[in-house]
Amino acid sequence: MTLAITLALWALVAALAFATALRGRELLTTGVRNGLGEFVRLVPRLLVGVVGSGFLADLLPQEAVARWIGPETGGFGIAIATLAGALTPGGPVIGFSIGATALKGGAGAPQVIAFGTAWALYALHRIFIYELPMMPARVVWLRATVSIPLPFLAAYAAMLIGKP
């Protein structure tokens, strides 16, 4: 499955490169340069996040993780994970590393799904730093409010579907 996804992504990259090349060599060169620049900036962060999450998983007391957001915590653990996701600052390397660390430390998959969904939808730092300065406050708060049930729905859907 992972190989199929990887091949599909590379096929998409090849198709985009071909479409860009049809529009001009200079555009293709700029795209390759920009893509490689992003790759070079992102890889060290990913390495630090993944390796750091392994160390953090070993440092976390598994009994505390299991007590607060373990598989048996149900709705309470989902609520705690949702709140933690909303309060977690940082980009994807931080958010996903914390989720991976929690899983390694004994957290339940639905709880980690709730954490990741809350982090992606309404991390409070992003609301205050990015959204409110750029959009009308009424739109921001409406978007955040209608997003509140989504981490819970995602977690309960994961419970219904089964253990990943």
* pLDDT tens digits along 74-133: 999 999 999 999 998 888 878 888 888 888 889 999 999 999 999 999 888 889 999 999
Q: Please answer whether residues 101 and 53 qualify as being in contact, where contact means their C-beta atoms are separated by less than 8 angstroms.
A: yes
Domain that holds residue 12: 2-57
Give yes or no: residues 51 and 65 share one domain: no
Residue 17 pLDDT class (50, 70, 90 cuts): very high
Give yes or no: residues 114 and 45 share one domain: no
Average pLDDT score over residue span 31-40: 93
Give yes or no: residues 71 and 49 share one domain: no
Give yes or no: residues 52 and 65 share one domain: no
* Counted domains in the chain: 2
Instruction: Say which range, 10-14, 44-48, 75-79, has the weakest mean pLDDT.
Output: 44-48
Give yes or no: residues 153 and 74 share one domain: yes
How would you class 59 by CB atoms within 10 Å of its CB: exposed for 0-12, middle for 13-18, buried for 19 or more? exposed
Residue 164 pLDDT class (50, 70, 90 cuts): low
Give yes or no: residues 116 and 91 share one domain: yes
Cα gap 69→85, rounded to integer Å: 12
Give yes or no: residues 95 and 133 share one domain: yes
Give yes or no: residues 49 and 69 share one domain: no
pLDDT at 8 over 90: yes
Give yes or no: residues 50 and 123 share one domain: no
Instruction: Specify the higher pLDDT residue, 144 or 50.
Output: 144
Q: Please answer whether residues 113 and 158 qualify as being in contact, where contact means their C-beta atoms are separated by less than 8 angstroms.
A: yes
Give yes or no: residues 38 and 79 share one domain: no
pLDDT at 161 over 70: yes
